[in-house]
Amino acid sequence: MPVREAAPVVRSAEPVRLPQAAADAVPAMAETAVRNSASQWSAAEKLDYLRRKNIGNCQRCKLSTTRKQIVFGVGDPEADLMFIGEAPGFDEDRQGEPFVGAAGRRLTQWLGRLGLRRDQVYIANVLKCRPPGNRDPEADEVERCSPFLRAQIRAIAPKVIVCLGRYAGILLLGRPTDTTLREMRSRSWRYVDPSGAHEASLHVTYHPSYVLRREQELAPGQRNPADDTVMSDLQQALSKIRVGAAAPQNS
């Protein structure tokens, strides 16, 4: 059917259009909105958002191609005491939970001697994915993964952090990579989040895997001095919670 020409009409003024945000400003606006909302979230909600939205199916480093699972963390989201290891191992990679193998059983024993259960503390690692063959974390992996750990610390806001192993201590204390564990343990440090959002007393001690290796070198029935050393370190760390003592400044 042919279309008839409409009679001339007087056009009204163009509708008022609100200014549009630049494309690159939209993510920033959304991020600000989330940050403002997150300030009202519980620690559990913050951790859940971090795990689902920020980490997700992380592909930020080469470990994403060899891992079985991302190992986020486990425990009480509002714990006063937080343990931080170096990276997941074989068992952790398959179960998706930190410290569940032989090293995890030893950590659970240590907690029991202190009168604590695993669900009363929070346990995490510097890396969320297992390095092949349980090798040491590499610098680029730590760089890409450590912001997630720092976000976990801010969400949980522990009073005391215990670093299990040298790599966790070096990262959180900002020490040179050749710093030995001996230089960091047997004293109390202060962890300060780079943003200034949280501070905590920090202690460094041996990783359970190291203690187990030392045990294998001893004669049957011989007392393991490394195990005693860790218990002494943990008792010192726990005293910071029980008496509310302030940690000294880094020197």
Q: Identify whether the C-beta of residue 102 lies closer than 8 Å to the C-beta of residue 62.
A: no
CATH of residue 233's domain is 3.40.470.10
Residue 103 lies in a domain: yes
Location of structure tokens 């480093």: 61
Tally of domains in the chain: 1
- What does the alpha-carbon distance between residue 234 and residue 162 come to, in Å, rounded to a whole number? 8
Residue 250 falls inside a structural domain: no
Positions in the chain short of pLDDT 70:
1-36, 243-251
Domain of residue 140, residue span: 42-242
Residue 250: predicted pLDDT: 52
Residue 248 resides in a domain:
no
Tell me if 211 is assigned to some domain: yes
Domain assignment of residue 12, yes or no = no
Please indicate, yes or no, if residue 192 is contained in any of the structural domains: yes
Instruction: Tell me the CB-side half-sphere exposure of residue 64, using CA atoms within 13 A.
Output: 10
What pLDDT is stored for residue 33 in this prediction?
63
In this prediction, residue 245 carries a pLDDT of 43
- Please indicate, yes or no, if residue 136 is contained in any of the structural domains: yes
Q: Quick one: pLDDT at residue 37?
A: 74
159 part of a folded domain: yes
